[in-house]
Amino acid sequence: MTVTEFIILGFGDLKELGPLLFLVFGIVYLATISGNLFLVALVSTHRRLQTPMYFFLANLSCLEVCYTSNIVPRMLVDLLRKNRVLSMPLHYPTLMHGTICVWLVIGSWFSGFTVAAAFQAAMVTSLTFCGSNEIDHFFCDLKPLQKLSCSDPRLVNLVCMSLMVLVTLAPFGLTLTSYWKILSMVLHMPSMTGRQKAFSTCSSHLVVVTLFYGTLILVYAVPLAGQVPVLNKTFSLLYTVVTPTCNPLIYSLKNKDVKEALRKLRI
């Protein structure tokens, strides 16, 4: 039998909690979109915030809006309806000094949308489905799709591990290296108050970075997490819902310049 559509199971064991989960995740989603868009508007309209650091943070917020909006609205709809059919074939978006900042951002977006998304989309289209069509997840991810496939999984696993090294482990390692250098400089600061403030800022940043990359690695690189639906869904919630909500709070809204811009808005 050739499969022509998929059924997303979502949080199958928690069907009676659908309305409550819809309310909770709906509020979180609205907070995520509002916080990130507000930050973009703030950076765009205040000259003091138009520096390389806030330029990159605004692009991070744009990415978070696109990323979470690609997954959460469908998840919210599925929480309230019984018919969770997804058509085949699957469609994933493939579009995805001032000059160097722009090129760094273009490189980040390009690698994320073409290297990761396009390769995964290619892997999905290479799979054949001939059995169950129920996806035990809250969005159409490669791992649960692969479990339904009748195809040989070796090529897909090889590509997934290569992408994991390229787009997850490598950026995570570079990020940790940059923070290590920052912390090394902080240790040489003469002021104890300055060191404590810097450590507090860096530690909160590292928690969010580790939460995001750590859950990605657990989902795509650790066999156990990919095979246990509850773990897969839990870890996926962390990197698709929780970290996008935390980013504007941790990276920007705590900064002095942003607070000053907010104060001027109130005036």
For 190-206, what is each residue's pLDDT tens digit?
Answer: 777 777 777 777 777 88
- Count CB neighbours of 2 within 10 A: 7
Task: Encode 214-260 in three state secondary structure.
Answer: HHHHHHHHCHHHHHCHHHHHHHHHHHHHHHHHHHHHHHHCCCHHHHH
pLDDT at 95: 38
- Average the pLDDT over 40-60 and give the result: 82
Weakest-pLDDT range from 45-54, 113-122, 205-214: 113-122
- Average the pLDDT over 247-260 and give the result: 74
**Domains of the chain: total:** 1
| Per-residue confidence band for 266, with pLDDT thresholds at 50, 70 and 90 | low
pLDDT at 124: 76
The per-residue pLDDT for range 17-34, each reduced to its tens digit, is 788 888 888 888 888 888
Query: Of the spans 33-42, 118-127, 156-165, which averages the highest pLDDT?
Result: 33-42
Cα angle 19-21-27, degrees, rounded to a multiple of 5? 100
241 residue type, one letter: V
Residue 267 has pLDDT above 60, yes or no: no
Is 164 strand, coil or helix? helix
With 0-12 CB in 10 A as exposed, 13-18 as middle and 19+ as buried, what is 235? buried
Q: For residue 195, what are the contacts with CB-CB under 8 A and spacing of at least 6? A: 186, 187, 189
Residue 254 has pLDDT above 80, yes or no: no
pLDDT at 76: 86
pLDDT: is 215 or 224 the higher one?
215
Weakest-pLDDT range from 145-159, 171-185, 186-200: 186-200
Range of the domain at 190: 5-266
Q: Among residues 31, 21, 17, which one has the least CA distance to residue 244?
A: 31
- Average the pLDDT over 138-165 and give the result: 77
| Per-residue confidence band for 142, with pLDDT thresholds at 50, 70 and 90 | confident
Is 43 strand, coil or helix? helix
Please provide the DSSP assignment of 45-73 as one string: H-GGG-SHHHHHHHHHHHHHHHHHHTTHH
pLDDT at 253: 66
On the CB side of 85, CA atoms within 13 Å amount to 6
The CATH number of the domain holding residue 65 is 1.20.1070.10
pLDDT: is 209 or 14 the higher one?
209
The per-residue pLDDT for range 96-137, each reduced to its tens digit, is 366 777 777 887 777 777 766 677 777 777 788 887 788 888
Rounded to 5, what percent of the chain is helix, strand, coil? 75, 5, 20
Residue 41 has pLDDT above 50, yes or no: yes
- Count CB neighbours of 226 within 10 A: 22
The per-residue pLDDT for range 54-107, each reduced to its tens digit, is 888 888 888 888 888 878 888 888 888 777 776 667 443 433 366 777 777 887
pLDDT: is 186 or 267 the higher one?
186
pLDDT at 93: 41
